[in-house]
Structure formats: structure tokens, C-alpha cells
């Protein structure tokens, strides 16, 4: 049995108490599969194009993703903060992005004073850090947050993949030398691979060379292959190296030691990216340090983003079937979905006992204890919600000697005793 990851314990729940309901009909105003399934399952609620609220089931998945990302950021020495959403116009004028950034939301109060609604936080994090560092001994520093971002996205048709309000993990690293930056940057490449593996899409996600912007040669995107993707990448399957279509030329191909004839075109979703910023944002704010000789230098920076909602939506896009979502165990809203079928008194007693016992063991269990709901409806809800294990208690399963346990990915279940069920689901130590 492989070890399962239970990051951050959450409460068990009776489905009869859950205020959300599943829906059979697809929403008429959604074209993307991720939004359709998440809305039908009651994970999210659409407010307007590109803006969604997280409901209890969706929030549980989001929190699990958040925990995984937080653990990995803490491992590389990241210090978590929560920066403001309102951002001073002055800061944005200093970097030139008040005018240059076309998707920036500008908000004015009744006196005409303008602020930016944060689409990213370089303009905030750099001035914050400037208050606290001055010597080379103060470095390296690595700051991150998990927070809502706002961008005036024109094409907000892809559900959770492209929001106008969305949750991002943004990390910023600060260094005194190019060597130190490089070391950290390559560590972050591994960290990102770990994160995407832990959330269950590692097998479809490739580090992709993309344009580095004005300063650096390359940036690196983490692209998950799916026909739903907005990006086009060229993948060398032997090395696992990919290049974004926008930077694809002979010089880039040669410099990466690849051959054009080996590259295969794929559509993909950018779930994260990492950038060498050099002094692009430290310079305008004069973020500098004194070296051993007391000489002043501008600080070097990197930034590292992951869209949490986009990641959640991507998992749904790539890991679902015609019946619904198939959550990886590491981010599933619950570990097991217990279904009590029929109105039989024995069934209800037995299922309630199992629910209580598993809850006491700390197993995250959703108990479909709803009465007057047919077995067929309970089964199709379980498939739609996509919890990794389905445990059915019915008159038949009891006659057969226990609980019918089935993985979401399997066609057929098997009868297990309560003890066996516990052994299979028992939270293992975090790895």
C-alpha cells in the first residue's frame, strides 16, 4: 500500500447537513469542463465571468493544495506574509507599470484618489523589505504569500483557469550575487516539480523554457498537457524538456541541445512559473546592500508564482471521466465517501457506527446519510464528487459480511470488514 498524504486534518461531515447540492444539469453559461464539474458538484459558485466563490467542498480542496504549497515553500526557507490588496499608485508609477500593465484594475475613491488592486506584489514586497535590510549579512531573503489577485482578463471563459479574481502563491527571493540566485532558482525548479507531483499532475507537467522578458534569457513555466490548454508547447519526450511556442527558434533549440524533429506539439496549461527578475524591481526602489567592503550594490531578485485556483481547475480538467471528478488522494475533499443505502434500520445503525468510529480515528469521511435519496442518485453523486474511496453499507453488503469498498478509479468493489476498512484508510504519517 502506498503512503497517503493527509496534509492538515479536516472535520468529517454528514451529507444531510451540507448546504450545497449536486446538480444534474450543466450550467448554461460555462464552456469549460472544470467549471461545469465543479459547479455541478457544488464545489464553487459562479458570481460573474472569471469570478467564483469557494463552497465547503471546494474550499477543502483549496486548503489541501494550499497546505502542500505552504509546506514546500517553508522547506526552502520562505517566510509567509499577507500583503495588502490595495496598492499605492506611487509605487506603480515608480516601476512604470501604472501605465504599462494593461490588465491592472485601478480603483478610485469619491475624492478621486486612485489605488491599484494587486495583480502581483513586486511593488509592495520590495518597499517592505527595504525597511529591514541593508547589509549583505541580511541576505538571502525569501518571502511568500497566498492571496487573492485581480486582473482585467478579457478572455475569462476557462472557468478556474483564468479568473479576474484568483488566488495565487507568489514568492519573491532576494540575493546578493548571481551565484546565490542561481542556486536558489534551481532549487525552486525541483520544489515546483515536487508540488505538481504531490497534487497529482506530475506525470503531465513539464518544465518549459519561455521568454525571460527584458533582462533574463529564459523564464521557466510549468505546463500541464491537456487539449484544454491555451498555451502551445514543444516537448522533447526523451529529456522531458519543453519549449513554449513563443520562444521556439533554432537558436533556443540548439542552446538546449535539442533537435527540432524530436519536438512534439502539445496544448498545455501554465500552472506555475519562475522568473529571474535581476534588478528590474529592486532598482526603482533602490533596494540595495553594502558588501564586506561597505560598497553599495543593487539586490538581485527572483519571483515564483502558482495559481491555486488554476491548479485546482487543471486537476479537474486532466483527472476526470464522463461521470465526474477523480481527485488525487492528496487533495481530495474527503478520504472516503460512506454511503448508506435503503431505509433498513440495521443499515442505518451500522453506517452510523462506522461513521463515528472512522471520525474518531481522524479519517476524513463524508457520510451520505440522506434519507429518501435513491441508491442510483447516491452513486452518481459519489462519482461526480470524486472522493477516492466509496464505502457502501446496504442490506446486501451486510449479508455479504461487511462494507463494499471501491476506489473511484475501479469498476468493481470488494467486501471488507470495518477493521479492514480502517487499515486501508488510516492516516499514515506525512512523508
Binding site for ligand ATP (CB under 6 A): 120, 151, 153, 162-163, 166, 168, 270-273, 305-307, 309-310
Question: 228, exposed or middle or buried, with CB in 10 Å at 0-12, 13-18, 19+?
Answer: buried
Measure the CA–CA gap between 272 and 250, rounded to whole angstroms. 25
Cβ 191 to ligand ATP shortest distance, Å? 14
Cβ 172 to ligand ATP shortest distance, Å? 12
SS3 304: strand
Cβ 398 to ligand ATP shortest distance, Å? 47
Cβ 158 to ligand ATP shortest distance, Å? 8
Q: Which is closer to ligand ATP, CB of 309 or CB of 388?
A: 309
Question: What is the largest distance, in Å, between two alpha-carbon atoms of the chain?
Answer: 82
Q: Which is closer to ligand ATP, CB of 287 or CB of 311?
A: 311
Measure the CA–CA gap between 89 and 268, rounded to whole angstroms. 35
Cβ 232 to ligand ATP shortest distance, Å? 12
Cβ 96 to ligand ATP shortest distance, Å? 17
Report yes or no: 408 and 383 within 8 Å, Cβ to Cβ.
yes
Measure the CA–CA gap between 251 and 241, rounded to whole angstroms. 15
∠ CA 420-425-426 to the nearest 5 degrees? 95
Q: Which is closer to ligand ATP, CB of 195 or CB of 338?
A: 195
Cβ 415 to ligand ATP shortest distance, Å? 43
Measure the CA–CA gap between 329 and 406, rounded to whole angstroms. 14
Q: Which is closer to ligand ATP, CB of 89 or CB of 157?
A: 157
Cβ 170 to ligand ATP shortest distance, Å? 7
- Phi then psi for 169, rounded to 5 degrees? -95, 120
In sequence order, what E strands does 202-345 have? 205-211, 218-225, 231-236, 241-244, 263-278, 288-290, 296-298, 300-307, 320-321, 324-325, 336-340
Q: Which is closer to ligand ATP, CB of 272 or CB of 302?
A: 272
CA distance to 99, 293, 409, per residue, from 96 (Å): 6, 33, 51
C-alpha cell at 317: 480538467
Q: Which is closer to ligand ATP, CB of 312 or CB of 358?
A: 312
SS3 44: strand
Q: Which is closer to ligand ATP, CB of 66 or CB of 270?
A: 270
In angstroms, how far is the first alpha carbon of the chain from the final one? 14
Place of cell 461487511: 402
The bridge status of strand 218-225 relative to strand 205-211 is antiparallel
Q: Which is closer to ligand ATP, CB of 307 or CB of 402?
A: 307
Amino acid at each position: 500500500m502506498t503512503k497517503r498524504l493527509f496534509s492538515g486534518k479536516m472535520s468529517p461531515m454528514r451529507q444531510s447537513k451540507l448546504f450545497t447540492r449536486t446538480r444534474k444539469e450543466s450550467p448554461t453559461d460555462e464552456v469549460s469542463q472544470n467549471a461545469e464539474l465543479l459547479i455541478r458538484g457544488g464545489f464553487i459558485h459562479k458570481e460573474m465571468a472569471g469570478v467564483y466563490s469557494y463552497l465547503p467542498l471546494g474550499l477543502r480542496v483549496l486548503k489541501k493544495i494550499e497546505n502542500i504549497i505552504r509546506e514546500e515553500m517553508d522547506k526552502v526557507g520562505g517566510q509567509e506574509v499577507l500583503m495588502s490588496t490595495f496598492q499605492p499608485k506611487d509605487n506603480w508609477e515608480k516601476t512604470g507599470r501604472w501605465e504599462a500593465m494593461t490588465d491592472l484594475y485601478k480603483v478610485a475613491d469619491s475624492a478621486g484618489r486612485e489605488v491599484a488592486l494587486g495583480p502581483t506584489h513586486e511593488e509592495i514586497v520590495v518597499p517592505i523589505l527595504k525597511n529591514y535590510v541593508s547589509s549583505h549579512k541580511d541576505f538571502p531573503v525569501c518571502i511568500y504569500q497566498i492571496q487573492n489577485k485581480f486582473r482585467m482578463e478579457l478572455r475569462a471563459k476557462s472557468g478556474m483557469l483564468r479568473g479576474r479574481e484568483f488566488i495565487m502563491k507568489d514568492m519573491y527571493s532576494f540575493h546578493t550575487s548571481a551565484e546565490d540566485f542561481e542556486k536558489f532558482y534551481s532549487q525552486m525548479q525541483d520544489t515546483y516539480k515536487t508540488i505538481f507531483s504531490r497534487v497529482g499532475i506530475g506525470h503531465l507537467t513539464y518544465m518549459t523554457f519561455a521568454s525571460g522578458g527584458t533582462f533574463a534569457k529564459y523564464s521557466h513555466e510549468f505546463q500541464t498537457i491537456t487539449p484544454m490548454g491555451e498555451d502551445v508547447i514543444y516537448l522533447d519526450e526523451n529529456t522531458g524538456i519543453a519549449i513554449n511556442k513563443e520562444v521556439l527558434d533554432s537558436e533556443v533549440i540548439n542552446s538546449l541541445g535539442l533537435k527540432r524533429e524530436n519536438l512534439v506539439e502539445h496544448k498545455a496549461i501554465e500552472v506555475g512559473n519562475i522568473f529571474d527578475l535581476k534588478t528590474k524591481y529592486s532598482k526603482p526602489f533602490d533596494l540595495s546592500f553594502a558588501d564586506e567592503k561597505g560598497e553599495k550594490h543593487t539586490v538581485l531578485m527572483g519571483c515564483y508564482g502558482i495559481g491555486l485556483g488554476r491548479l485546482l481547475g487543471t486537476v479537474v480538467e486532466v483527472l476526470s471521466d464522463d461521470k465526474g471528478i477523480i481527485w488525487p488522494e492528496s487533495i481530495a475533499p474527503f478520504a472516503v465517501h460512506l454511503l448508506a443505502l435503503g431505509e433498513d434500520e440495521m443499515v442505518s445503525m451500522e453506517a452510523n457506527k462506522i461513521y463515528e468510529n472512522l471520525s474518531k480515528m481522524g479519517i476524513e469521511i463524508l457520510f451520505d446519510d440522506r434519507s429518501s435519496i435513491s441508491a442510483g442518485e447516491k452513486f452518481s453523486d459519489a462519482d461526480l464528487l470524486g472522493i477516492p474511496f466509496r464505502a457502501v453499507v446496504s442490506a446486501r453488503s451486510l449479508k455479504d459480511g461487511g462494507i463494499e469498498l471501491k476506489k473511484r478509479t475501479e469498476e468493481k468493489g470488494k467486501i471488507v470488514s470495518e477493521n479492514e476498512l480502517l487499515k486501508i484508510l488510516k492516516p499514515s504519517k506525512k512523508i
